[in-house]
Structure 1
Amino acid sequence: MPEPVLPLTARLLLARTARAQRDGRAPGLVAGVVRDGGPVWSAGRGDVPGPHTDVQYRLGSISKTVTAVAVLRLRDEGLVHLDDPLDRHVPGTPLGDRTVGQLLAHVAGAAAESPGEWWERAPGGTLADLRLGPEHVVLGAARRFHYSNLGFGLLGELVARLRGRPWADVVRTEVLAPLGMDRTTPRPVAPAAEGRAVHPWADVVLAEPEHDAGVMAAAGQLWATLADLSRFATFLLGDTADVLDPATLEEMTVPAGVDPSAPGWSAYGLGVQVLRVDGRTLVGHGGSMPGFLAGVLVDREEQTGAVSLANTTSGLDPLLLTGLLTDLRTAEPRVVAAWTPSAPPVPLEVLGVWFWGPAPVVLRAVPGGLLHLGPLPGRSGRASRFTRRDDGTWLGLDGYYAGEPLRIAEDHLDVGTFVFTRQPYDPGAPVPGGVDEGGWTAS
């Protein structure tokens, strides 16, 4: 079991949570942090009907991440591919030529909302009841990020059809139960908070409706307790309980269409939001439904996470979770494991300085049996890590060369047609275009 936070840290976390509840005028707010595989602090503020870790609140769009996990389980079993057009599994929609992967990453160009009444406040029906038409395709495929509740409603339908069972049954048996999230359900089970809207100009509240969203349930139907949401945070940190392969979870967290080396960006992976905040990459999802706000955010490098649930339609500080993570990291900085020697995955003579044309780069071994190709210290430039493949080549994991092959020869490296040599434009190596026979001159 992870050790609880220190008393001073607990005071800092409580102070931030208390201020968020008061300033955001949330009728009830529960929050917690996890570290190294389990919860280490939590608190409830305001009107919390019961033990604060066991009161259900509506998760809203965090349900999308649960749906994405169910889709990726199907992918890992070979029943669906991310490049499959939707029509192959859910025929008859105007988004039939858009792919499963595009829907997961919100780049399919689907309308933000389903047609008809505002689905978040009105009971839903079946896919046929939506009567989707061409007008519900609002952008070209892969043109830009466009958040789509409708897209995840369609993914929930895909899950139901491929499993032959309702979406709620699939996520309960394949995701929630294996993770021990027994208090996460499609409809509220007491003790559960009642959804509230808070008047903008007076300290009075209004009850918000609760309903079954039908086919749109996969986009925002689930309810959960703080204890269950904390368990989901540990899942995102890597404790997958065999629900997903760790490599698939890692795949979910890779941002689509954004350069992750740039400071201060926000992106979306496969069913998760990916944020760059104060030099940290954070993964998770926010959720909102009428009467409720929720959030889960984890720092996979630090192995910490923060969660919150509140019964208010709007007004809560959006920086609560990042603030809790900052408080924890500042008050109790992580003590990293000691460095120890390890054998490099290639002979030592392969490592060191290489040249792309006249530009020097360094190939070095890094932990995990990986190679890193990047600029000299203090210089900027392209950088990627590589993992060995069974055929002796290396595969780019990130950066400019993600997905590209690295081939190591005695006198050169070949990375996706780029040739790196031991000397600048080495005439003895297979430099594309050759090397001028006059060699290097002063004029």
Structure 2
Amino acid sequence: MPLNRPVYAACLATVGPAGTRIATIGCDLQKTFHIGSISKALNGLIYTDMVQTRLISPHDRLEEHLPLAGTAAGEATLESCLTHTSGLPATGGGIRSAARALGAVLTGGDPQPENLDDLMKQLRRSRIRHPGRFSYSNLAASALGHALAAADGADYPTLVRNRLTIPLGCPRLRAQQPAQRNLPHDLNALTVWGTDQLPWTGQGYGPAGVIRGSAHDFATVMSTLLADDCVYEDAFRVRFTDDTESVAAGWFVEDKSDRTLVWHNGYASGFGAHMVLDRQRRRGAFISVVSPYPDPDIEPVAMTMLDAAV
């Protein structure tokens, strides 16, 4: 693969009119890969489902589902968290948290060890700046995931299991449990020194990026989203747009040449991933690679795979 960084393994899946194709490089097909922030796009599917069944409303405030009454963050709506327009900061831990996450790339530590109480404390301290403008926020995305779970009477890993893993038929798709070590079928990541990288298991920021799965799982997800009778159709409706971004339910929407693409990328715990869908032509591509570098330049590979999908 023509990448600008070294990779140790890769997971590939394409969907086209003739069916699905999957492959792995450096491991067997049953291994699971992290998808990082593509988890936010999958949260968008859950959100869409729960809105359609009236378990939640887009206008619900965070404080209606989380212990945030009387705080600025508590006034943010679920829809604003979904579209990164809540005005919440990117993260809630300040410089110390950012430095720790960077250090984890070098030392192999858990990049987001915060538990749910830690996240709530960060949300209570957070200020809202420029609501209504796009500003990418892991803090808002995490709050949304926990709000969805609370509305469904579950924790976040159980929400993913009940709302995605089981109904989609993706047996190895899961949100890593708090403090859970890798399972035998989970591929281990590596640091820049070639030592083991711990998985992202902190419950607090879990909804922003802890989902992982196999090539089979991601082919199944894309097949579902590209089907004529897709039950998640409303997930791809643009909810916010400005001069730089168009955002659907957790997905980015982009007009490229003569087609409209929906996509999301992610980086987490030594994995880089990209998923892109051309829903009009019923084609999709997914790639996840094991690389300690956050910029392995996999988007062009995903686009080449998309163009080659048949």
Superposition map of 1:242-321 within 5 A: 246=231, 249-258=232-241, 266-314=245-293, 315-317=295-297, 318-321=299-302
8 Å Cα contact 2:67-2:120 kept in structure 1: no
Q: How does the TM-score come out when normalised to structure 1?
A: 0.60
Give 2:12's match in structure 1, choosing from 31, 37, 41: 31
**2: CA distance between counterparts of 1:133 and 1:213?**
16
**2: CA distance between counterparts of 1:95 and 1:37?**
47
Deviations 1:40-66 (A, max 9, x none): x33333xx23x2x32111111111122
Give 2:185's match in structure 1, choosing from 191, 194, 205: 191
189-198 or 146-155, which moves further after superposition? 189-198
**1: CA distance between counterparts of 2:282 and 2:300?**
19
Instruction: Decide which structure has greater helix share.
Output: 2
**1: CA distance between counterparts of 2:78 and 2:117?**
17
8 Å Cα contact 2:46-2:163 kept in structure 1: yes
RMSD: 2.5
**SS at structure 2 position matched to 1:83:** coil
Q: CA deviation at 1:230?
A: 1.3
Superposition map of 1:87-106 within 5 A: 87-92=63-68, 93-106=71-84
Q: CA deviation at 1:121?
A: 0.9
1:114 is matched with 92
The 1:114/1:181 distance shift into structure 2, 3 A limit, reads farther
Q: CA deviation at 1:133?
A: 5.5
1:56 is matched with 32
1:43 aligns with 2:32: no
Superposition map of 1:353-368 within 5 A: none
Question: Structure 1 stretches of 5 or more lacking a match?
Answer: 1-17, 199-203, 333-443
**1: CA distance between counterparts of 2:141 and 2:214?**
23
**Matching residue's letter, 1:67:** N
Question: Structure 2 stretches of 5 or more lacking a match?
Answer: 102-109, 177-181
Q: CA deviation at 1:88?
A: 2.2
**2: CA distance between counterparts of 1:302 and 1:154?**
34
2:210 is matched with 221
Bigger CA radius of gyration = 1
The 1:239/1:124 distance shift into structure 2, 3 A limit, reads farther
**SS at structure 2 position matched to 1:159:** helix
Q: CA deviation at 1:135?
A: 5.6
8 Å Cα contact 1:94-1:132 kept in structure 2: no
**SS at structure 2 position matched to 1:286:** strand
**1: CA distance between counterparts of 2:189 and 2:228?**
31
Superposition map of 1:63-82 within 5 A: 63-82=39-58
Q: How does the TM-score come out when normalised to structure 2?
A: 0.84
- Identical amino acids, percent of aligned pairs: 22
**1: CA distance between counterparts of 2:122 and 2:254?**
32
Deviations 1:181-221 (A, max 9, x none): 111122343222211234xxxxx634322242212111111
The 1:298/1:152 distance shift into structure 2, 3 A limit, reads same
1:233 aligns with 2:222: yes
**Matching residue's letter, 1:178:** P
8 Å Cα contact 1:266-1:276 kept in structure 2: no
**Matching residue's letter, 1:168:** P
1:170 aligns with 2:149: no
8 Å Cα contact 1:289-1:313 kept in structure 2: no
